[in-house]
Amino acid sequence: MTATIELEQVVKTYGGKTAVDRLNLTIESGSVVALLGPNGAGKTTAISMMLGLRRPTSGVIRLLGKDPIIPSTRNHIGAMLQQVNLPEKLSVTEILKLFQSYYEHPLDIDPLIQLAGLEEERKSLASRLSGGQQRRLQFALAMTGNPKVLFLDEPTTGMDVTSRRLFWDRLRALSREGNRTIVLTTHHLEEADSIADRVILIQHGRKVADGSPAQLKALAGFRYIVFTAGPTVPADHISTLPGVKSVEWSGRRARVQTQDSDRLLRLLLERYQDLTDIEVTSGGLEDAFISLTTVSDPTGRDALPRSDALEHPLGSSRRGQKEEAASQ
Amino acid sequence: MNKAMTQVQWEIVRQFRNRRFFIFTVLLPLFYYFLFVKIEGGNMRVAGTAWKSYFMMSMAAFSAVGAALNGLSYRIAFERTQGWMTLVRTTPLRPVYYVIGKVAAQLVVSATMVLVLFLAGTFGEGVHLSVAQWVLSWLWLTVGTIPFIALGITIGLIAGMEASGMIATGIYLILSVLGGLWFPTAIMPKLLQDIAKWTPTYRFADIAWHIGANTDPHVSDLAVLAGYLVVFLGLAQWAYRSRREDVA
C-alpha cells in the first residue's frame, strides 16, 4: 500500500481562529476514509486543503506524492463539493460534455449518466433538477476524469433516504474497482459506519480518533446492557450500582452503559429476579462518537452535553427530513 | 484545441438561451434600427455618410457591447458565487483557459450580432459598402468589444448575481446614450459632446463610423479604448484577487 494523501503538521487559521490544528494524516491508496465530526469541526477546511483550494497556514500536504495545486495531479482527482449550483441553461448531458473537456482521459457520457441514475433526465436543464438529482449529477461530474482519488464533501446532503442508500451502494462498488481512494466528510454516523473502512474523528480541527468503525466502537470502551425492568426493580438503584456509567430509561426499558458488562450483568442477575429481554451490545458508532468527542475536549468548557450532542452532530434524521422537504 | 472548442461552444449556447440577452442585444437594436431609419429617412446625411449606414454601425456597436456586458457579467457572477468556479478549480483546467474560453465565446457572439445588423442594413435598408468596408468594420466591431468583455468580467467579479445584471444593463444603457449610439453626437449639446468623447462606446463606434464613411479613423480612438482596456483589466485582476479566498 502506498500513501495517496499525506498531511504533516497541517495548520489552518482564519483571522486568529484555528480551523485545523496540527493535523497529521496518511491515507493509503484504495481505502475509503470518512472524516467524521460535528459541524464546524474543520472537515471541509481539511478537504479543501487536500484539494489545493486553500493553502495551509503551515505544514505540508502531498496528494499523489505532489503538491495538490499542480494541474497534472488534478487529472487524477474528482471532487464533489458543498454548495455548488450548476450553470443555468445547460442540460445534464451538456454539462457532462463540458466537464469532459477539462480532463485528459474522461469517462464516456453514458456510464456517467448511469452512475448518476439520470437516464430519464439526460436532456433536462441541470438547474431544473431536484436537489437530490443535482447532487447525483455532481457525483457524476466528480467521476468524469476517472479519478484515482475521489473527494466527497458531505455527499448525501439533500438526498432522501432511498437515494442515500443507493448512493452508498454505488460508492462501495466504485471503491472495489481499480485502486480508487475515496475521502468523504460526513456528520452522518450511519454513512461513515456503512461505507468507510477507516473513520477519522475530527473535533476542533484536531484528530481525536482514527481507526476502523469497529475499532472506534471498541475504543470508546463501553458496552450496553439493555433490559426491561419489572415493577419490583427499584429504578433509582440501578444507576448507583458499581460499574454503571449511565442509565437511560424509556418506560421500563433501561439502557445501562458500563465498561465491564460481564461483572455488571452478574450483579444485576444476582440482585433482581424481574429482568426480562436482556441484551448486551457494544453500542453503535454513535455511542463511540459521543463518548470520544465529549471526553477529548481538553478545556472541558464546551464539551458537548449528551442531549446537545444528539441533536447537533447526530441530528441526521431531523436534518435529513428538512433537506428532503426543501429539495422537493 | 478540441477542448477549447467545446468550452466555447457551450458558452455560446448558454448565451443564446438567455432570454434577457436575446431581448436586449438582438431584438432591441434591430427594432431601433428600423424605427429610426424610418423616422429620419435613410438617406439623410450624417458625418459624411448616409444615416442608414451610420446608424447601422451605431446599432451594431450597441448590440456587440450589449452582448459583452449583459450575459457575461451575470454568468461570471453566478459561477463565482454559486460554487461552480471553485469546482472547476479542482479540475486540471488552468484558470487562464477558463478566461480564454469565455472571451473567445464572447467574440463569436459579438461577430454574430454585428452580422445580424449588417444583414438588416443590406437587405432591409439597402446599405451599400465596399467589400473592404464590410470586412474591416465587421472585424473591428468584433475585436473592438474586448474592452467591454473585460468590463463585463469585472462587473461579474465585483457584483453578486442580482446586482451584476442591473449594473451591467445600467452601464450599458448609459454608455450607449452618452456615447452617441442612440443619437449622433452631432445633435447633442456641447457639454454632452465633450462627455461623449471620453466614453469607450463613442470611441468604439467612431472607428466603425469612419470605416463606413470611408474616412481615416482617429488614432485617439484607439488610444482611449486601449486606456479603458488597461483600466478594466486592472480592475478585473484586483477584483479577482480580493474576492477569492486564499488560493493557489
Nearest to B55 by CA among B205, B166, B214, B207: B205
**Within a domain: residue A56?**
yes
Q: How many CA atoms lie within 13 A of A239 on its CB side?
A: 7
Instruction: Identify the pLDDT of residue A39.
Output: 80
Task: State residue A166's pLDDT score.
Answer: 84
CA distance linking residue A166 with residue A132, whole number of Å: 12
In this prediction, residues B208-236 reach a mean pLDDT of 93
Between B83 and A323, the more confident residue is B83
Q: What was the pLDDT predicted at B123? A: 95
Interface of B with A (CB under 8 A): 2-4, 6-7, 10, 13-14, 17-18, 75, 78-79, 82-84, 86-94, 245-248
Cα dist from B203 to A13, B4, B102, B212, whole Å = 49, 31, 24, 14
> Where does the pLDDT of residue A280 fall: very low under 50, low under 70, confident under 90, or very high at 90 and above?
confident
Whole-model pTM: value is: 0.81
The CA–CA distances, whole Å, from B48 to B39, B61, B187, B190, B214 equal: 19, 19, 14, 20, 9
Given this model, what pLDDT does residue B245 score?
A: 52
A15, A34: one domain: yes
pLDDT at A306 over 70: no
Residues A228 and A108 placed together within one structural domain of the fold:
no
Q: Which residues of B touch A97 (CB under 8 A)?
A: 6, 10
Residue B130 pLDDT > 70: yes
Give the range of the structural domain holding residue A253, as residue numbers without chain letter.
223-281
Clarify whether residues A116 and A238 are in a common domain: no
Chain-wide mean pLDDT for chain A?
A: 83
Cβ B119 vs Cβ B70: under 8 Å: no
Q: How confident is the model over B105-121, as pLDDT tens digits?
A: 999 999 999 999 999 99
How many beta-carbon pairs below 8 A join chains A and B? 87
Contact residues on chain B for A138, CB-CB shorter than 8 A: 87
Is the CB of A103 less than 8 angstroms away from the CB of B79? Answer: no
pLDDT given for residue A324 in this prediction:
37
**pLDDT average, residue stretch B115-134:** 94
In a domain, A158, yes or no: yes
Distance of alpha carbon A109 from the chain centroid: 29
Dihedral sign, Cα of residue B2, residue B4, residue B6, residue B12: negative
What is the Cα–Cα distance from A210 to A204, expressed in whole angstroms? 15
**Residue-wise pLDDT tens digits, A174-200:** 888 778 999 999 878 888 888 898 999
- Same domain? For A253 and A176 the reply is no
Q: Give the total number of structural domains in chain B.
A: 1
**Is the residue at A297 inside a domain?**
no
Same domain, A82 and A124: yes
Q: DSSP H helical segments within chain A, as ranges?
A: 43-50, 71-74, 92-100, 109-116, 131-143, 161-176, 189-195, 213-219, 235-238, 261-271, 285-295, 306-311, 316-327
pLDDT tens digits, A95-117 = 999 999 999 999 999 999 998 88
A235/A136 same-domain check: no
Q: Measured between CA atoms, how close is B246 to chain A, in angstroms? A: 6
CATH code for position A103: 3.40.50.300
Residue B132 placed within a domain? yes
User: How far apart, in Å, are the Cα atoms of B3 and each of A65, A104, B9, B12, B103?
Assistant: 27, 10, 10, 14, 15
Residues in chain A whose Cβ is within 8 Å of chain B = 51-55, 68-69, 71-72, 74-75, 77-79, 81-90, 94, 97-104, 138, 141, 145, 151
Q: How far is A49 from chain B (nearest CA, A)?
A: 9
Q: Using only C-alpha atoms, what is the Rg of chain B?
A: 18
Q: What is the distance between the alpha carbons of residues A278 and A251, in angstroms, rounded to a whole number?
A: 15
Nearest to A79 among B4, B90, B94 (CB): B90
Q: CA of B148 to nearest chain A CA: how many angstroms apart?
A: 23
Q: Which of A217, A251, A271 finishes a domain?
A: A217
Judge whether A323 lies within some domain: no
Is B90 within 8 Å of A51 when comparing Cβ atoms? yes
The C-alpha torsion from B119 through B125 and B126 to B129, rounded to 10°, is -60
Residues A126 and A20 in one domain: yes
**Quick check: B248 and A72 CB within 8 A?**
no
Closest chain B residue to the Cα of A51, Cα to Cα: B90
Count Cβ atoms within 10 A of the Cβ of residue A37 and give its class: 0-12 exposed, 13-18 middle, 19 or more buried: buried
Report the range of poorest mean pLDDT among A36-40, B132-136, B137-141, B175-179: A36-40
Which of B7, B83, B247 is the closest to A98 by Cβ? Answer: B7
Chain B nearest-CA residue for A73:
B92
Nine cell digits for residue B59: 446599432
- Residue A172 grid coordinates: 462501495
Q: Which of B149, B144, B151, B153 is nearest to B202 (CA)?
A: B144
Same domain assignment for residues A41 and A154: yes
Spatial separation of the C-alpha atoms in residues B51 and B45, rounded to whole Å: 6
pLDDT at A167 over 80: yes
Do A156 and A229 fall into the same domain?
no
- Measured N-to-C along each axis, helices B95-119 and B51-81 cross at an angle, to the nearest 10 degrees, of 150
Query: Is residue A312 scored above 70 in pLDDT?
Result: no
Q: Show the domain range for B117.
A: 2-243
Residue A51 covered by a domain: yes
Displacement of CA A24 from its chain's centroid (Å)? 18
Task: Look up cell 484607439; give the residue.
Answer: B222
Q: Which positions in chain A touch B82 (Cβ < 8 Å)?
A: 83-85
Q: Which amino acid is at B69?
A: L
Partners of residue B89 in chain A, C-beta under 8 Å: 53
Q: Within this chain, do residues A245 and A122 fall inside the same structural domain, yes or no?
A: no
Calpha distance B113→B158 (Å, rounded) = 26
Chain A residue with minimum CA distance to B75: A87
Neighbouring C-alpha atoms within 13 Å toward the C-beta of B243: 20
Of A92-101, A229-238, A281-290, B239-248, highest mean pLDDT: A92-101
Q: How many domains does chain A have?
A: 2
What is the per-residue pLDDT for A235? 81
Shared domain for A150 and A240, answered yes or no, is no
Q: Phi and psi for B109 in degrees, rounded to 5?
A: -65, -45
Residue A306, in any domain of the structure:
no
Q: Which of B171, B173, B169, B153 is nearest to B232 (CA)?
A: B153
Query: Tell me, what's the pLDDT at A208?
Result: 87
The pLDDT, as a whole number, for residue A1 is 52
Q: Please list every residue in chain B whose beta carbon sits closer than 8 Å to the beta carbon of residue A74.
A: 90-92
pLDDT at A308 (0 to 100): 35
What's the mean pLDDT in A258-275? 87
Note the pLDDT of residue A295.
56
Do both A192 and A240 map to the same domain? no
Point out the residue among B10, B92, B246 whose CB comes nearest to the CB of A75.
Answer: B92
Whichever domain contains A266, its CATH number is 3.30.70
- What per-residue confidence (pLDDT) applies to B30? 95
Please answer whether residues A90 and B13 qualify as being in contact, where contact means their C-beta atoms are separated by less than 8 angstroms. Answer: yes
**A289 lies in a domain?**
no
% of chain A beyond a pLDDT of 70: 88
**CA-closest candidate to residue B119, choices B208, B189, B56:** B56
Confidence of residue B211 (pLDDT cuts 50, 70, 90): very high
